[in-house]
């Protein structure tokens, strides 16, 4: 018993030193969301200086955790924009393919973008920190995309399109891609969850207290595997949908560009405008988000991808 006590003491002491505690994760998530949405604020394609400050912040965070951060520059309307990414080598066979986890850091004009999508950026930064502390079997690339929002959305100028194309051009094998797209808004109020068609209410909850995994039909196997692993390690409610893009919202994030190049990809989302009344509005501020649930999601996702 004495030996067990000593081992437990060492384990929890090391975890505390590394900051791998629920409270520390929650604090980090909240700090990133607040910094991006309040200190920097609106980050539209017109705000090049603010986007550059955001890229600096993400790069500094990656590097502070010991992850070699890099930038991918590209041009749009005479300005230079940057995707920011870092790679953490896994212990497994590189031929098995890398896992890409991404989120966009730009916003639409007129919103501070706490949920959309400072929450997603907070998620990838914290997942990178956890992965550096204990690398996974599979090599992971954490990517912060720019230019996801309108008027660039669904064009070849999106940062995620440019990044996905570069992976294809370099013949890098991708096991799958997960897009973190709005992670922080939840409601236990009955009727708080909406859907694109009334029939969805027959199969999905009417309370917006769950997280959703959403992808296309060809990505169903990948989506279901991650969902199964997530459910095995987390009590957080999770729903999934793999469908054609004619259903509004299925392709509303960076994962759609990975489909373009034949990669399996899905997004993790709080369902955006089907739940959050502050979507693309000035009210999308840090104080509206649920950091306890965000913490639960990040921990569950980290454990789940560890088994991929």
| CA–CA distance, 254 with 149 (Å, rounded to integer) | 10
Q: Exposed, middle or buried by CB within 10 Å (0-12, 13-18, 19+), for 71?
A: middle
Burial class (CB in 10 A: 0-12, 13-18, 19+), 53: middle
- The pLDDT tens digits for 222-260 are 999 999 999 999 999 999 999 999 999 999 999 999 999
Residues in the chain: 308
Which domains does the chain show, CATH number per domain?
19-305 (3.40.630.10)
Lowest mean pLDDT, pick from 11-25, 124-138, 253-267:
11-25
- State the pLDDT confidence band at 160, using cuts at 50, 70 and 90: very high
Q: How far apart are CA 43 and CA 82, in angstroms?
A: 13
Rounded Cα distance between 268 and 308, Å, is: 17
Q: Are 101 and 178 in contact (CB under 8 A)?
A: yes
Mean pLDDT over each residue of the chain, to the nearest integer: 93
Residue 224: predicted pLDDT: 98
- pLDDT band for 19, please (50, 70, 90 cuts): low
> Helices (H) and strands (E) in the chain — how many of each?
8, 8
C-alpha span between 61 and 121 (Å, rounded): 11
């Amino acid at each position: 018993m004495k030996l067990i006590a000593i081992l437990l003491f060492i384990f929890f002491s090391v975890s505390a030193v590394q900051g791998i505690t629920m409270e520390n994760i929650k604090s980090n998530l909240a700090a990133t969301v607040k910094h991006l949405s309040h200190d920097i604020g609106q980050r539209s394609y017109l705000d090049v200086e603010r986007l550059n400050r955001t890229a600096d912040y993400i790069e500094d965070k990656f590097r502070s955790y010991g992850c070699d951060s890099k930038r991918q520059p590209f041009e749009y309307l005479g300005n230079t924009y940057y995707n920011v990414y870092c790679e953490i080598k896994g212990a497994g066979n590189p031929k098995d393919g890398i896992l890409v986890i991404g989120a966009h850091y730009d916003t639409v004009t007129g919103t501070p973008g706490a949920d959309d999508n400072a929450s997603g950026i907070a998620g990838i930064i914290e997942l990178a920190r956890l992965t550096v502390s204990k690398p996974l079997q599979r090599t992971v690339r954490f990517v912060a995309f720019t230019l996801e929002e309108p008027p660039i959305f669904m064009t070849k100028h999106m940062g995620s399109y440019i990044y996905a194309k570069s992976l294809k051009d370099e013949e890098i094998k991708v096991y799958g891609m997960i897009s973190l797209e709005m992670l922080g808004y939840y409601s236990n109020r009955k009727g708080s969850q909406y859907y694109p068609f009334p029939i969805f209410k027959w199969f999905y909850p009417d309370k917006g207290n769950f997280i959703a995994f959403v992808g296309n039909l060809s990505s169903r196997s990948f989506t279901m595997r991650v969902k199964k692993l997530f459910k095995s390690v987390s009590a957080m409610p999770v729903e999934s949908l793999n469908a054609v893009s004619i259903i509004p919202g299925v392709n509303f994030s960076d994962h759609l560009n990975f489909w373009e190049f034949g990669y399996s990809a899905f997004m993790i989302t709080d369902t955006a405008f089907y739940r959050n009344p502050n979507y693309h509005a000035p009210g999308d501020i840090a104080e509206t988000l649920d950091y306890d649930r965000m913490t639960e999601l990040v921990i569950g996702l980290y454990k789940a991808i560890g088994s991929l």
